[in-house]
Amino acid sequence: MNTQSISESISEKNKEIKIIDKFKYRFHKMLANDVERWSCTNKKCKCYFKRSGSLLLVNESKLTDHRHEPDSSELLKRQSIRNNLKRKATEDITLRPATLIHSQINRDGIDDLTTDDISCIRRGIYMARRKILPTLPKNIKQVHETIELLNIKTIQGEPFVLINDRINNIIMFSCTSNLQSLNLVKEISVDGTFRCSTKYYLQLFTIHGMLNDYYIPLAFFLLNSKECNAYENAFRGLINECSKIDLNFNPEVIHVDFESSIHKAANIVWPLIKIQGCHFHLGQSWWRKIQELGLTSEYNNSSSEVGSFLKYIFCLRPRI
């Protein structure tokens, strides 16, 4: 028996491999008395070793008759980095490849990777994730089917998909902790974004609550229209999810832009709610009107009396 040094790494297929004298070995099979047999990763090579626990059984192994050259230290190092990053990429799919690569480089103090190495590592990360993620949906029906199959949870382990409504095509993302926080506030702020909405949906509609002087996004909806009934279904869905955990979600004030369908939906769901507009969106509306009337040049002219008057408008604090 011998305690010859055996290092460990991860293979391209995310399997454990052993390295002895720069030769790589893969697990072959278990023998009698819990003895492991490991074979050279080169399929044409007949070398192997046997191990009992952490002890290398040299007399029962064939380690010195490789029919190929050992891997270089640089190659082993690159392979170890690439395969470790592929494993980390599948453990946390939210981390960007650049973040994973930079953290690994900084941790290991690596300074000899080329741009080709980085590109190869990045491709490996994408390929590894592609194997564990479902194919991209080709229509909105498949979106709902995919969501149904995925077990999406927060980092605290809470279910994150609360509504997957195939009839009204609404998907709600939130969790119990978020709903509990949302029920602590009396004022909510809502807004929809269209630029970063996912395919097959028109917008990502977000509901915020102010906690510790910060507006925190607490519930997210994928909606495929801007109609009143879409917002009404979203609000009612939120109330229903809160009721499942014995919470009565009944905000007193809603801060919203000037989209009338949201105002109408809020009044339908919460008849006593106070609707307050947004000064930021009001300013945007004024600016669009200035452009529509062809007054942009006057506004930008510092010596223009009309331009000065237009600027004064933005200093007003209307009750909205």
In a domain? residue 252: yes
Is 40 inside any structural domain?
Answer: yes
Same domain, 114 and 222: no
Does 320 map to a domain? no
Predicted pLDDT of residue 9: 78
In a domain, 319, yes or no: no
Same domain, residue pair 55 and 144: no
Q: Are residues 148 and 30 in the same domain?
A: no
Q: How far apart are CA 17 and CA 84, in angstroms?
A: 12
Say if residue 42 is in the same domain as residue 85.
no
At 259 the three-state DSSP class reads coil
Residues 52 and 113 in one domain: no
**Do 165 and 243 have their domain in common?**
yes
Residue 1 domain flag: no
- Residue 289: CB atoms within 10 Å: 12
- The answer to whether residue 246 sits within a structural domain is yes
Model pLDDT, residue 316: 65
* CA neighbor of 145 nearest in space, from 117, 120, 166: 166
Q: Between the CA atoms of 96, 97, 103 and 105, what dihedral angle is there, to the nearest 10 degrees?
A: -170
Q: What CATH number corresponds to the domain at position 258? A: 3.30.420
- 94-123 as b/e, with b when 16 or more CB fall inside 10 Å? eeebeebbeebbeeeeeeebeeebeeebbe
Residue 92 CB partners (closer than 8 Å, separation 6+): none
Q: Determine the pLDDT at residue 226.
A: 94
What confidence score (pLDDT) does residue 2 get?
A: 47
Report the interhelical angle of 115-132 vs 97-108 (nearest 10°): 130
Tell me, yes or no, whether 91 and 199 share the same domain.
Answer: no
State whether 272 and 284 are in the same domain. Answer: no
Enclosing domain of residue 291? 280-313
Q: Are both 251 and 233 inside the same structural domain?
A: yes
- Final residue of a structural domain among 107, 132, 157: 132
270, part of any domain: yes
Q: What is the pLDDT of residue 319?
A: 54
Q: How many domains are contained in the chain?
A: 4
Any idea what the Cα angle at residue 199 is, between residues 92 and 90, rounded to 5°?
Answer: 15
Query: For the CA atoms of 230, 235, 238, 244, what is the dihedral angle to 10 degrees?
Result: -110
Q: How far apart are CA 156 and CA 175, in angstroms?
A: 10
What pLDDT tens digit does each residue of the chain (320 aa) get? 444 677 777 776 767 888 888 888 888 998 888 898 988 988 889 898 888 887 888 777 888 888 888 888 777 777 778 878 888 888 888 888 888 888 887 776 666 777 887 888 888 888 888 888 888 899 999 999 999 988 899 989 999 999 999 999 999 999 999 999 999 999 999 999 888 888 899 999 999 998 888 889 999 999 999 999 999 999 999 999 999 999 999 999 999 988 899 999 999 999 999 998 777 767 777 888 889 989 888 888 888 888 888 887 777 655 54
Domain end call among 132, 150, 173: 132
Residues 124 and 150 in one domain: no
> Is residue 173 domain-shared with residue 211, that is, in the same domain?
yes
Residues 303 and 268 in one domain: no
In this structure, is residue 2 part of a structural domain?
Answer: no
